[in-house]
Structure 1
Amino acid sequence: MIVPASNCVGKIYGYNASFFLFVTSYAGATVTLAQVLQQNATFGGGAADLEFPMNDTGLPALCVVTVNVKSSNTSSYNFGLFLPDQWNNRFIASGNGGYAGGINWNDMGTNARYGFASMSTDTGHISGSFDASWALNNPEAQLDWGYRSMHGSVVIAKMITNAYYDTNIGYSYYSGCSTGGRQGFRDIELYPEDFDGILAGAPAWWTTHLQPDNTAVGLSNLPANAPAHIPSSLFSVIGAEVLRQCDPQDGFKDGIISDPEGCNFVPEMLLCTPTSNQSACLTAPQLDTLYRIYNDWWEANQTFVFPHYELGSEAQYGFLLNTDSGAPTQPGIAWIQNFLYNDTTWDWHDFTYQVILDADRINPGKANVGFDLTGFYNRGGKIIQYHGLADGLIPTGSSELLYKNIWRTMGAAGIVLDGWYRLFLLPGMQHCQGTAVDAPWYIASSGQPFELGPEVWSVPGYSDPKHDALLALLEWRENGTAPESIIATKFNNDTVTAGIHRQRPISPSAEIARSGIHTDYHGLGAALVLASKPLDVLRDHTSWTSKKIQALNAADNKTRLTG
């Protein structure tokens, strides 16, 4: 459908005045901007949008609308909406990241290039990813961030879209990663009518355990002056040894760890000897710390708390494990102080398992995702979930855990997941995007196109459901063709014009399986594929470290929490 953007102001403010009055009376909503953007225009929040400071360039002709919505007596949120001239009769919402506020104009611009009416909310505040100060003593703002702003924005944005194009939206979708992944799952749990399909990456779905774990991981590498402390200068040394041992164990030596859970890693190969380069080896106490990092967090009473970071995620250790300064990094502490206890004087030295108990009891922002998605399933909804196997911010096992808990919950009612919900694990991909080992990671999901350039969309040269995860979701929901694999792409130097380094088909599964040698599309000649066989057991949270870690915990079962 073609609707000229020149009609933008008139549609919103003028001859459709009755609709405008309805929107402004609905839930305290106020249209704050209606503006025409001509072909190749530039638009965005600029430097004021701390999380998305780069404006989008080369936009298609469209109408941009912003709306403010009052959510309580003390809170409100905003959303932006792109209404392209060349509309594909579909709507899509984009997610956020971390604790950040700000409208995700970048993903909106990407999605508008497909032809979507594209929306994003600022969740009620402006901040960077790790700044949670806005949440202090502000439960209403926490609720907006947790779920309320996404649903409210979607409802009103759909009203505007239907009125603007004078026809009803054909299909509605969602795309987001990290906090954005959580937002998508939380929305379809509470409001299954909002979307027909979601593309959700590395969802931060278990906030009451993920955020405390951020702190606990750092504490495992403290005090900084202790013999067991691993300095950040050794992270790359550890990563190189993990790659050396684990890469060939997955069945094909390609510089990528495809089966971290199946790797029989021997950390003692890093142990310092009298003839070792002392700046490139670990002492025995440091090896004990490494064992803890690679093991799930269990409490002394055998209560599982949170999964471990995978072998191969070492390139992102700096985010949570770099405690050279003598303190844990901020993400977990900020959440505990501002969301949980509303007390900026809370001291990380006081961290105990009680933090988890308090977090589960309070569930700030009601942000945790539940496992019953029956309403979404009954509407014919489809889910493509993905996660990088080298993610150093949210453990890959967290996605497996969500998948398997939904499987267990809905399987009890006889609902088979494979027909509507599939999980893809990408070897070598870090948090939401990127790689340290030249692994194919690009599937055109949330945030990925803008990472390659502000005017990139879909998969250049391969704009089809086999390579583009968003198009795969549309093909599945609208035509019933399930994605048997998604071909991930790695561009040379992550630059589209430099050409493709290599590609690799990724099949839906939470297990790595050796399914034979497959022709690689570029560069290597062969590659493993993630097998699409169904999962038959819930994650047992046991790894190669289990016996060693049990012995360590027997000696001091609070070491994980006290450093």
Structure 2
Amino acid sequence: MRSSLRSTVLSAAAVASTASAAPERPLRPRDSSSACSDLATSIPTILSNITIYAAEDVTANQTFTALGNNLTATTDYCRFGANVTTSDVSMFTFELYMPHEWDGRFLMNGNGGDAGSVQVSDMNTLVGAYGIATASTDTGHNSTAADDGSFARDNYESAIDFAYRSVHLTTVYSKSIIAEYYNQSVSYSYFSSCSGGGRMAWKGVQMYPEDWDGVIAGDPAMWTPRLDGHQYWRNMFVNYYGAPGYVSATQFSLINQEVFRQCDADDGLVDYIITEPSRCHPDYSTFSCSNTTSPFFNSSTCLSDEQMQTFITLYSDWHFSDNGELAFPAYLPGTEAQMGQSAGGSPSGNTGGYFDYQVLNYTDYIEPAFSGSAPIQINGTNVTLAQLEAIVRLADEINPASNTAMDPDISGFLNRSGKVIHYHGAADGNIPTGSSLVYRDRMLSKMGDAATDGYRYYQVDGMHHCSGGVGPVNFGQSDGNSLYPMDSKYDVLGAVVAWVENGTAPDYLIGAMYETDDYLNTALGTSVGYAFAAGGGDSSSTQTVNFTRKICPYPLVARFTGGDWSTYESFVCN
């Protein structure tokens, strides 16, 4: 197997004949040498409630500081930064980078988690790689931790800024600033982000269909009450510290290797990727202490009966206990590598922040008397499972700040020929992949044939949350990780641009596993187990790759047809 995992250096010229590029646009020079600094005086006369703190040119390779971040400019561009007041008690910060040579497009860059910072590093990468004007916002609060939800405490206006208002206004304001700077309006507008940014993508599509022409929504955290409730459920009622059935991070890692051993070959190819994990049905008894047959387990690492029950519960759908309604879908086989973190007995901070600061602070809900015996606290009080379910349903009902992005009606966006590329890692051990399928099914049921010309869903085999993993995890979805920027096969941004501007609907994408992902290492294929990539790569036109693979529109999957498995050409979508 190792001999077939050859590293291949692909050059831009080598793929030029096989990959179709997105439609090119002539680069447009800015108006004058003072166009950037002039914005400091002209923009306040055009836009209201704005305080500008930066309107400066930076040159390629210049080092500078933006909001405390040390950057090296990737190209010549105008850096614009401002604060926008949204109420007496709220404001947000945003920055907009406009290249001296521009392709006529605007890209809104989203945030993960609870946000709290302008993504200046990502913007710096994007403006250089694509020649696109790009913006980002802190969503109305400043935080060094992406999972700090305390910004919403006693400040509903800040919760609104985070939920949708700051992203919408940044988009609207940026378009006006771009028009002033270039003396030319934006030709096409786009949004791209993952996780919390995937929620932002769908929220914009649902609420403000005229903001963007094309949207890329990855691994979206869109079903807020259920996702955050699931965080509590799995960490505090299923696999909590001190529980007799507590499964450790080490055991999850070993389980992951056993699942690969059982399911990897199901697709006819042993490549450390589980294709169609929903069809993987491992025999979990192989790592039970009562019947340990897995080569990865021994008497000290096997799972007791209590631990087996914990694991089986974690990998089953969560249903409300009173009526059996689906509360949230389960993780797929192959996600175990991340479970030591996402189900290790400690919910992420944004989960507590959502329930503490948004749901219960803004209602007249009176919590029932607590038994004091449950291992979970909300608002500092012990909560039983039934009470957690009641709070989740309350969050569904009130939807504080309209945070949830599950509205299946996207007719406003589709009616103006908007395009959405929606993707989710099949090995996402943070946000279960099934949550994307729940929304996909609801939206398609509502929209019917109207969605055919404006929506594609891609389930990326082997990919963890947003990036990383053992599959074709580099396809332009993470800033700067595209093998060929703006190529309509290798780059998801190029794919949505070609769809919007040229009418070329995407079929398959091409993802790459780079040598820099550390896919090849001493552990690969040995008794130690399987290797897991860290994600990454860069935007150079020449990149050393371990393999490329087709990423097919769901429900199609990439099937091996024979030959060299390290090239996407040996796979078909069916």
* Structure-to-structure mapping, 1:494-513, within 5 angstroms: 494=517, 495=537, 499-509=544-554, 511=555, 513=557
Q: How far 1:230 sits from its partner (Å)? A: 1.0
Instruction: Choose the corresponding residue for 2:334, options 291, 299, 312.
Output: 312
Identity %: 34
Structure 1 residue 330, shift from structure 2 partner: 3.5
Structure 1 residue ranges, 4+ long, deviating more than 6 angstroms after superposition:
none
Matches within 5 A, 1:22-33: 22-23=46-47, 26=48, 28-33=49-54
Range 109-118 or range 327-336, more displaced: 327-336
Does 285-294 or 218-227 show the bigger shift?
A: 218-227
CA contact 1:386–1:425 (8 Å) conserved in 2? yes
Q: Who is 1:539 aligned against?
A: none
2:452 alignment partner, SS class: helix
Deviates more, 1:355-364 or 1:421-430: 355-364
Equivalent position of 2:399 in the other structure: 363
User: 2:354, 2:562 → 1: CA distance?
Assistant: 44
Aligned to 2:454: 420
> Which whole-Å CA distance do the structure 2 matches of 1:197 and 1:122 have between them?
22
Over 3 Å counting, the alpha-carbon distance change for 1:265 and 1:526 in structure 2 is farther
CA distance in 1, matches of 2:219, 2:550: 19
Per-residue CA distance 1:133-152 (angstroms, 9 max, x = gap): 11112111111000011111
Structure 2 residue 58 is the aligned partner of structure 1 residue 40: no
Give the equivalent residue in structure 1 for 2:366.
none
Deviation at 1:353, TM superposition (A): 0.8
2:527 equivalent in structure 1: none
1:444 is aligned to 2:476: yes
**AA matched with 1:517:** T
| Aligned residue in 1 for 2:123 | 108
In 2, Cα distance between equivalents of 1:246 and 1:274 = 19
SS in structure 1 of the partner of residue 429 of structure 2: coil
Task: Give the drift of 1:277.
Answer: 1.6
User: Does 2:45 correspond to 1:21?
Assistant: yes
Query: Pick from 479, 497, 506: which aligns with 1:483?
Result: 506
Q: Does 1:285 align with 2:315?
A: no
Shift of 1:110: 2.5
Q: Is residue 224–residue 404 contact of structure 2 (8 Å, CA) maintained in 1?
A: yes
What is the count of residue pairs matched by the alignment? 500
Note the C-alpha offset of 1:70.
0.9
Q: Which residue number in structure 1 is paired with residue 287 of structure 2?
A: 270
Mapping for residues 71-150 of structure 1, pairs under 5 Å: 71-113=86-128, 114-127=130-143, 128-150=145-167
- In the TM superposition, what is the alpha-carbon distance from 1:375 to its structure 2 partner? 0.8
Distance 2:81 2:473 in 1: 33
SS of match in other structure, 1:419: coil
Q: Distance in 1 between matches of 2:515 and 2:116?
A: 32
Q: Match of 1:12?
A: 39
What amino acid maps onto 1:115 in structure 2?
G
Could you say if the C-alpha distance between residues 91 and 291 of structure 1 is closer, same or farther in structure 2, counting changes exceeding 3 Å? Answer: same
In structure 1, the residue matched to 2:226 is: 209
2:331 maps to amino acid: Y
Contact map agreement 1:8 1:36 (CA 8 A) in 2: no
Q: Comparing both chains, which one has the higher relative contact order based on Cα–Cα distances under 8 Å and sequence gaps of 6 or more?
A: 2
- The one-letter amino acid of 1:487's match is I
- Cα 1:160–1:261 change in 2 (3 A) is same
Change (3 A) 1:180 1:329: closer
TM-score of the aligned structures, taking structure 1 as reference length: 0.84
Mark the runs of 5 or more structure 2 residues left unpaired by the alignment.
1-27, 363-377, 518-536
Task: Kindly indicate whether the alpha-carbon contact (under 8 Å) linking 1:381 and 1:477 is maintained by their aligned counterparts in 2.
Answer: yes
Partner residue of 2:561? Answer: 517
Conserved? CA contact 1:251–1:514, under 8 Å: no
- What's 1:191 paired with? 208
CA contact (8 A) 1:391 1:431 kept: yes
Give the AA of the match of 1:118: T
Deviation of 1:463 after TM superposition, in Å, equals 5.2
Amino acid across the alignment from 1:459: L
- Cα distance in 1 for partners of 2:152, 2:559 equals 48
Distance 1:290 1:274, change over 3 A: closer
For the pair 1:346 / 2:380, whether they are aligned, the reply is: yes
Cα 1:189–1:523, aligned 2, differ >3 Å: closer, same or farther? Answer: closer
Aligned mate of 1:57, from 72, 79, 91: 72
Q: Please give the alpha-carbon distance, in whole angstroms, between the structure 2 residues aligned to 1:347 and 1:45.
A: 41
| Conservation of the 8 A alpha-carbon contact between 2:486 and 2:493 | no
Distance, in Å, in 1 between the alignment partners of 2:397 and 2:208 is: 23
Give the aligned partner of residue 491 of structure 2. 468
Say which of 412, 424, 430 aligns to 1:393.
430
How far did 1:243 drift? 0.9
Indicate the residue corresponding to 1:381 in structure 2: 418
> What are the equivalent positions in structure 2 for 1:540-555 lying under 5 Å apart?
none
Aligned partner of 1:544 in structure 2 is none
| 2:195 equivalent to 1:168 | no
| Structure-2 separation of matches of 1:520 and 1:349 | 55
Which residue of 2 is the match for residue 547 of structure 1?
A: none
- Distance (whole Å) between structure 1 residues aligned to residue 429 and residue 573 of structure 2: 20
Distance 1:93 1:475 in 2: 17
Aligned-residue Cα RMSD (Å) equals 2.3
Write the distance in 2 (CA, Å) between the matches of 1:247 and 1:274. Answer: 22
Q: How many Å apart are 1:405 and its aligned residue?
A: 1.0
Matched to 2:566, the amino acid is H
Pair 94,223 (structure 1): closer, same or farther in 2 beyond 3 Å: closer
**Is 2:369 the partner of 1:332?**
no
**Which residue of 2 is the match for residue 296 of structure 1?**
317
Match of 2:264 in 1: 247
Q: Which amino acid aligns with 1:406?
A: M
Q: 1:328 and 1:77, CA in 2 relative to 1: closer, same or farther beyond 3 A?
A: closer
Which digits, 9 at most, give the CA deviation of each residue in 1:47-71, with x for residues without a partner?
A: x5xxxx5x44242101111121111
**169-178 vs 488-497, greater mean Cα deviation:** 488-497
* 1:43 to 1:512, Cα distance in 2 relative to 1, 3 A: farther
TM-score by length of 2: 0.82
Asked if 2 retains the 8 angstrom alpha-carbon contact of 1:234 and 1:279, the reply is no
What's the CA shift for 1:288?
Answer: 1.1
SS at match of 2:174: helix
